[in-house]
Structure 1
Amino acid sequence: MKDDGRFRESWKTSNNGCWEWCGRLSDKGYGWFWDSANKKHVKAHRWSYESSVAAIPEGLEIDHLCRNRACVNPGHLEPVTHAENVRRAKYLKTECVAGHPLPVVESGSRECQECARERKRAYKARQKAKQPPKEKKLPPHGRGRYAHHGCRCDICCEAEKSYKRAWREKQAVAITRTETTGA
């Protein structure tokens, strides 16, 4: 291809056999290359595969067998379906982004259990912060059998005082009756 010389100047070989792209990288770590023949920017690994091996079949994407997104070595690139690419990437990971070990499962989710617990704790803390504090239920003032017990508000304290005063007066009346009749 026309840009082959410029392309060869844009990568260097690393110890693991990868051809590390030294030119412009995308925010996801893929190399970008100006294809002057088509007058557009292309992903460097796709250009490398298409110029060295063959055209990428419709419906397939390039998988980096080395898991290095900046690699443009055609020997490390293979066209696969998107599902296969995702499956390979998912099961090659041994730890989550926080560094916790991932569980090994045949199928289903490989969610990090420690991160899930941390997310749950954070969610509960956010929910608790949103809720107003629970108000203490006060007993109904002056109603019920034990309305004067427990609550220390002015209404209940006054009710308790009047209850005790009435009880003392009743006791005093009973004592005076027994003294007058008994003497």
Structure 2
Amino acid sequence: MVTMSHAGHALLERAVRDEKVRARYSAKILTAPGISCAYWCGSLSPKGHGRFWVGNARDEAGVLRDVCVISHRFGWAVAHGIDSLDRVPVLAHICDEPSCQNVEHLTPSSWADNLEDWQRRRSTPRSPLRDTRGPGGRARAIRAALLAGLTLTPILEAGHDELSRDQLELF
């Protein structure tokens, strides 16, 4: 786990308690009817995780730096407290959607367990992990559709080839 500087951690702690910052975070989350994921519609990393700017802090050398956090980790801290976040090296998405902000879809994990889960589930038919656009491409397509007010179901299906879409699960 990448550790945050003391100044960055203090900034994140203040941001979690600040109603304006929490409102800015919430404004970047959109949902679709009939889908339990709550998608991040702000800045995205190449791997599809939301990026949320919480402010500026000076690093150990005294240089003022932007402090961005993975958005679902910010949401976890809002729901469970900053101390809880400190004890969680990885927040795994049980929905396999990296841009999902629904804290009920997050579970504390380790790097090893998260990788093992990914390896086990990546071959599941119609899984988000099988999307041919990759996690970043899928997250960008979801964000674009939600911001345009489009129906999300065709966007979620678009990243799967016909064979994958029509395959039934055996077990």
TM-score, with length taken from structure 2: 0.52
Amino acid paired to 1:87: E
* Residue 63 of structure 2 corresponds to residue 45 of structure 1: no
Q: Distance in 2 between matches of 1:74 and 1:44?
A: 11
Secondary structure, in 3 states, of the residue corresponding to 1:36? strand
Give, in angstroms, the shift of residue 56 of structure 1: 2.2
Code of the aligned partner of 2:117? R
Q: Secondary structure at the match of 1:71?
A: coil
Return the match for 2:38 from 1, 19, 25.
Answer: 19
- Alignment partner of 1:56: what SS? helix
Q: What is the CA-CA distance between 1:97 and the residue it aligns to?
A: 7.6
Q: 1:11 to 1:87 in 2, by over 3 A?
A: same
Structure 1 stretches of 5 or more lacking a match? 102-183
- Output the CA distance in 2 between the equivalents of 1:42 and 1:89: 22
State yes or no: 1:78 paired with 2:96: no
Q: Give the deviation of 1:59 after TM superposition.
A: 6.2
Equivalent residue letter for 2:72: H
CA change 1:9–1:78 in 2 (3 A) is same
The answer to whether the 8 Å contact 1:57/1:79 transfers is no
Q: Distance between the aligned counterparts of 2:93 and 2:131, measured in 1? A: 20
Q: Which amino acid aligns with 2:89?
A: L
- Larger relative helix fraction: 2
Q: Determine if contact 2:38/2:101 at 8 Å carries over to the other structure.
A: yes
Residue 85 of structure 2 aligns to a residue whose secondary structure is coil
The answer (yes or no) to whether the contact 2:29–2:40 under 8 Å persists in 1 is yes
TM-score normalised by structure 1 residue count: 0.49
Counterpart CA distance in 1 for 2:110 and 2:85 is: 11
State the one-letter code of the partner of 2:52. Answer: F
Counterpart Cα distance in 1 of 2:22 and 2:88: 26
1:27-176 to 2 correspondence within 5 Å?
Answer: 27-36=46-55, 40-54=67-81, 55-58=84-87, 60-94=89-123
Instruction: Output the CA distance in 2 between the equivalents of 1:57 and 1:66.
Output: 23
Provide the residue aligned with 2:3 in structure 1: none
Extract unaligned runs of 5+ from structure 2: 1-16, 58-65, 125-129, 133-160, 165-171
In 1, distance between residues paired with 2:69 and 2:131? 29
The match for 1:173 is none
Structure showing the higher strand proportion among its residues: 2
Given residue 44 of structure 1, which amino acid in structure 2 is its aligned partner?
S
